Structure 1
């Protein structure tokens, strides 16, 4: 994990302490610039907040460094590992929080002078937990969340004589409905069978269990949750109900536009992406539902962090508070970018009751709010991204090579256990 040093560790500590001391005292240089590194659409949200920021800090320029999602996290990984080219504020997607916090490269915002832990009750519980390490350090403040949802093409269901309940009552029913949809319309049930796996392994996780590894370091990838996920994904592939289409590919967006993909299991934010740029011409054809079999799961979310090497920690903290604790900012981001708010204050707003035209006038935000309240807080682990890759590789072997599910999960567990053991040395 990166060490917080510019020239050498000792001098860095003195320099950072000096800068922070001046900043907390309110000494802000007229030439000061606050750098914020983000990805779409968080970059646009940050830029739209500039008018509010300038009212308090008219002489402080905010420079938003925007990169594509993958490029952003690659750049931030490199910056943290070398303690160079780090921004003052770093936006991090949920899947990267534990990795970035691994060696202490991020400020603990739960303690003085930040004390975000005192505001814990204002956030969606599971989201705040996602930004907290197993050691109790709050390294990331949640901004938006991704309550899991099932988005489906209402027109294709009607053509196939399938009802929403057929999709949601059970996972087996979901697959059976897909057979009818494929036979009647030619559309795939899902873009890729791994989409089913991704939701099932994230659903109904017990407190303290973790996604792949529990809080005692025990690897969970051969548990019934993973067995079920692999079995369902295999069933989808065997019945040719997926198009083997990767998310975010051109083929993926074309499938939505042309109606060759009937459903998508994802975070609620996808409805906004479909409306805004993925498939805007399909307005009115989509509907949202809770996940099959009464499942509730989280799918992504954005967090604000402060690297320890930040030169403007006081201003960085002010910016983060504006973006995460200000109900007006949170609501504005929700309205403009469909960034579902992590701040509970906003959940009482009348905007939740408004119908969504893209979803045929459905009041889907109420559905997603209910899901957000029922999602269990899941402990993050620094090896989660590695575990995700290992499990995904084994699923591909099951789907494409016919590998036995139990053997695949056993191999995934053994490989991950070796990584856990190596980490503990």
Structure 2
């Protein structure tokens, strides 16, 4: 009897040992699984993120196998096609300033507020932050770079025409679109019509509109109307520039624009900070002649990007930590130094890197000019149909500028076309 009891206790002890050992083995398997490398795919376009920074990210996050895919061609079209197919979606995707077109598809993206975005919100420009938030309050885009605007001008041509040529003087005396137009008439007279004030009618319209807190739609999605002060002022200003003969009719991203800039046929233009590189590549013979100052009429923004996490991602927390690190103020400053992406984190605006003097701009430090502009960009709601409405308006303005269409006839026709588009 005693022997049987001993045998039973021995069996029980052995079971317990095996159970404890099993727990230990199972726990070890859990630890191994938690340390397993996860894979995250990232879609971006050339120069939207610094490739060197992506290489550093792979070292910073050893638990992540980052597959960064540089998408060429029509990035937006490929993304929309992929979303429609619901297959082959990346974990993280860069979005340009057309982010508002994806607001109706907000359910396809993680709400970054749920992942901790509010913890760093105060580090970024408020107007930029809000551009990534849908009308329903869901944050689908984390701030990347911005496109604050300023007046680019030829100091030599301004001076020869009897205009102020130092940045502070130009900003003080040419501080609205009326005085800017008057300066253009002075340039036109001095150079006998061989030098134009600015490049094209669409640029004038877009830059005036960018200085207003109002666009075409209200946050509830309702159409403000074509007779809104912002639209009418922008339209009338653009038409006035055409009627005064101040436009070179040189469209951006064309050989004609490049040649006009390099040959001194265009004395100035209002453009975003990223136009610095475009101008330097287009007009190398004009190095040293250009300056930058605050834009007439106020500050605006043109361009800038965001990072989003698709709902199809199985690792949203890790994806957000990666995004947060890539677009930290420190790394935004680094990307300003390497690929000229202007930060959306104002905490780095006073850093030495943004105070550097630039030979192409006559030794001027242009960083502070764009920093001041970025701080004062008005908050504005765009709406997902902003691109389609804006495209109609700029096409009709081109008819006025290049085909001499009568503005009095083009305006009501434009209103009709916009209304018809919104009924679709």
TM-score by length of 1: 0.82
> Which residue does the alignment assign to 1:170?
176
| 1:281 Cα deviation from its structure 2 partner | 4.2
The answer on whether the counterparts of 2:45 and 2:71 sit within 8 Å (CA) in structure 1 is yes
Whole-angstrom distance in 2 between the partners of 1:302 and 1:160: 39
Does residue 36 (structure 1) correspond to residue 56 (structure 2)? The answer is: no
| 1:410 Cα deviation from its structure 2 partner | 4.5
Unaligned runs of 5+ in 1: 1-24
Whole-angstrom distance in 2 between the partners of 1:168 and 1:176: 9
Whole-angstrom distance in 2 between the partners of 1:52 and 1:334: 17
The answer on whether the counterparts of 2:333 and 2:348 sit within 8 Å (CA) in structure 1 is yes
The answer on whether the counterparts of 1:80 and 1:105 sit within 8 Å (CA) in structure 2 is no
**2:296 pairs with one of 292, 295, 313:** 292
Give RMSD over aligned pairs: 2.6
TM-score by length of 2: 0.82
| 1:283 Cα deviation from its structure 2 partner | 2.5
**1:332 pairs with one of 314, 331, 334:** 334
Unaligned runs of 5+ in 2: 1-31
The answer on whether the counterparts of 2:40 and 2:64 sit within 8 Å (CA) in structure 1 is no
Counterpart secondary structure, 1:197: helix
> Which residue does the alignment assign to 1:313?
316
1:179-258 superposed matches below 5 A: 179-185=185-191, 186-205=194-213, 209=214, 211-216=215-220, 217-258=222-263
* Structure of greater Rg: 2
1:124-139 superposed matches below 5 A: 124-139=125-140
| 1:104 Cα deviation from its structure 2 partner | 2.4
| 1:421 Cα deviation from its structure 2 partner | 5.5
The answer on whether the counterparts of 1:100 and 1:106 sit within 8 Å (CA) in structure 2 is no
1:84-163 superposed matches below 5 A: 84-94=87-97, 96-104=98-106, 106-112=108-114, 114-163=115-164
> Which residue does the alignment assign to 1:7?
none
1:9-48 superposed matches below 5 A: 27=34, 30=37, 33-43=39-49, 45-48=50-53
The answer on whether the counterparts of 1:219 and 1:416 sit within 8 Å (CA) in structure 2 is no
1:52-91 superposed matches below 5 A: 52-57=57-62, 60-68=65-73, 71-91=74-94
| 1:392 Cα deviation from its structure 2 partner | 1.5
Query: What count of residue pairs does the alignment treat as equivalent?
Result: 385
